[in-house]
Amino acid sequence: MIFRISIILIIIFNYSKSICFGINQVKVDSLLYLIDNEKNDTLRAHHLITLCRQLRTEFPELAFKYGLKSQEIYDKYNLNYEKCKLYNYLGIIKRNVTDYAASVEYFYKAVALAKEANCNDELAYAYNNLAESFLNIENKNESLEYYNLSNSIFLQTKNFKGLGFNLFSLGIYYSRLNEIEKAKTFFEKSLYYKLKYHDNRSIASNYLQIGRCYLVKCNFDSALIYFRKAEDLNEIANEGLYTHLYFFYGYFYSQKNEIDKAIQYFTISRDHSRTSSFYKNFVDCSDSLKFLYAKKGDFENYYKAHIESDSIRNVYYNNSYPDILKQSIVKYELEKLNQKIENDKLTENQKYQSKILAQKIVSIFLISLIILSIIFAYLFFKNSKIVNKINQVLILKNEEIKSKEIAIQTQNQQLNELNNTKDKFLSIVTHDLKNPFSGIVKLTDIALSNDFIHNKEKTEQNLNLIHTAAVNANKLLENLLSWSKSQTSKLEYLPQNYSLDELINENLNIVRNQIETKNIVLVNNISTTSNIFVDFNMINTVFRNILTNAVKFTRQNGKIEIYSTESEKSVHILFQDNGIGISKDLLPKLFSLNEKVFSKDTDGNFGTGLGLILCKEFVEKNNGEIWIESDEKEKFHFIPKT
């Protein structure tokens, strides 16, 4: 039965939370729409500060950002009352993320501005907020002093809503001191004022704390009654209230020695504390779980809870906060002292106004004489200055013309080089296309002759030759199209992470028949764990060209080897064959269009090297390097690095 009840409570909590998210999202979307479409700055600032208040608990960083935007408008129009309220909100946001030093600075700003603008209500809220910050860093004397200041102002202005807020905070203060009866009295007084305003979420918080007081006093029945009241009143799920409610349920069942149920509620409360930035509650839950796991003998979960508790405690509750806060307090006191000194100086200055007035008249007379002298001097030298300026302008214009002439000459030189490259490229392409198509024409003429029509064996042989010539021509056209796209910047570069082993095997499948036909031994030592960040189409073109060349220039019964080694920032890929080889004199010319290099493969077909030029283009576009090592005997190394 206990297990079923727990599941129902969790479902209800998650359902309520989803309703809360939906309602809050509608409010936020509505405010964002008003902000985007509001032309009146003052109303826009009002929407921004409302959004800041709405998001301050669940999304503190975003709330702080909207608060700063509203501050820009308040500063522009000098709206001090609104700025007091904003400083209080910004301080609360910083306190929620345990940046107590920043929160105290904002609250001090609110105090100073509220005094200047006579905003008594905001002054009282600022004092109350300061008290909470000091309480969080265990400075209880300062905390009580500010709580009492806030209480006296709320009583003086008859702000009973604020008084309910203040009395609730005093109840929290005495709870921390473990004066439970006194704390319960303040919670009940606060409840009296809150009931007048029908603020269910706030009333639910009072019921929760009163229930806690009964729980500490081991009055379990009364505690459970108040917890139920809090849960019933929380019509729209309040993340913070549910976080603390389930903590108290955990404490409730731990006191009744129902360990499994207590662990379940502490775990729920801790998980929601993590997502809602309630770091103190997170630590309290983790500490409670440590105790229960130890009691249960579950030391694995005890250790996990211990690690989580210490990690949050070290980050958010280090000992540097009190020192930082002391610095903030000293800074605030110094600012007040400096303000008093400035006021004294102003009084002294007013006493000497009559004497200074006479001195000012004399000074104005002398300054007037000086200005007249400067004007006459300016008119005297005006003409010479104008001439000098004109000369300087002419010099600058001449320099500009010379620089433009140099730029034009450079562009002309680049255009000539491009034209020469284009002519050489067209020459290579014309020559390369002529050979396979001439071969196709001759072979078809032979095939159509009477001697071949009736000879099936010769016809098949001739068709294979035609097919080979057509494939070579098609490959040349593919390389030509890819090179053209790369030169005109029409080829998109879309890099992603790919498995090197999968890319190599995919291209090996293309030449596998040729490898088997020539009885070539293939050694593939590519690492199966290496990934490369490349453009898929470009790197496939590179691998396909390299493997095709390796097969073409490797003799019958030859050997092709592929290796890869990986460093921190690159992968080194080695293609090696024991084929025909390349003369060392030709190596520097292989990647240049300015040099025409023809080589014959093992079948007697010629290649132009356009594929290698394309490989170099694509490897460099993928932030890699490619080079060749060879000798004139049987070794041929092709090593792209990317």
Q: What is the mean pLDDT of residues 167-184?
A: 95
Which of residues 462 and 362 earns the better pLDDT score?
Answer: 362
Task: Sort strands 495-499 and 531-535 into parallel, antiparallel or unpaired.
Answer: antiparallel
Written as one string, the DSSP assignment of 512-549 is HHHHHHTT-EEEEE--TT-EEEEEHHHHHHHHHHHHHH
Res 217 pLDDT > 60: yes
pLDDT(54) > 70: yes
Summarize pLDDT for 135-148 with one digit per residue, the tens.
988 899 999 999 99
Residue 143: CB partners within 8 Å, gap ≥ 6?
Answer: 131, 132, 134, 135, 173
Q: Would you say residue 31 has pLDDT above 90?
A: no
Closest CA to 477 of 599, 608, 601: 608
Amino acid at 326: K
Distance of CA 273 to the CA centre of its chain: 24
Q: Is the pLDDT of residue 213 over 50?
A: yes
How confident is the model at residue 174, as a pLDDT? 96
Judged against a pLDDT cut of 70, whether residue 556 lies above it is answered with yes
What does the mean pLDDT of the chain come to? 78
Rg of the chain on CA atoms, in Å: 42
For the cut 70, the answer to whether the pLDDT of residue 43 exceeds it is: yes
Tell me how far apart the alpha carbons of residues 452 and 459 are, in angstroms, rounded to a whole number: 6
pLDDT digits (tens, 9 = 90+) for 470-488: 776 676 676 666 656 665 5
Which pLDDT does position 134 carry in this prediction?
A: 93
Residue 595's pLDDT is: 65
Strands 559-566 and 571-577, how do they pair?
Answer: antiparallel
Confidence of residue 396 (pLDDT cuts 50, 70, 90): confident
Half-sphere exposure of residue 293: CA atoms within 13 angstroms, side-chain side = 18
Q: Quick check: 601 and 607 in contact, CB under 8 A? A: yes
pLDDT at 540 > cutoff 50: yes
Q: Is the pLDDT of residue 290 over 80?
A: yes
For the chain, percent of residues with pLDDT exceeding 90: 25
Judged against a pLDDT cut of 70, whether residue 370 lies above it is answered with yes
Is 178's pLDDT higher than 80?
yes
- Return the pLDDT at 251: 84
Tokens of 7: 């599941």
- Please determine, for residue 166, whether its predicted confidence score (pLDDT) is greater than 90: yes
User: What is the structure's pLDDT at 552?
Assistant: 84
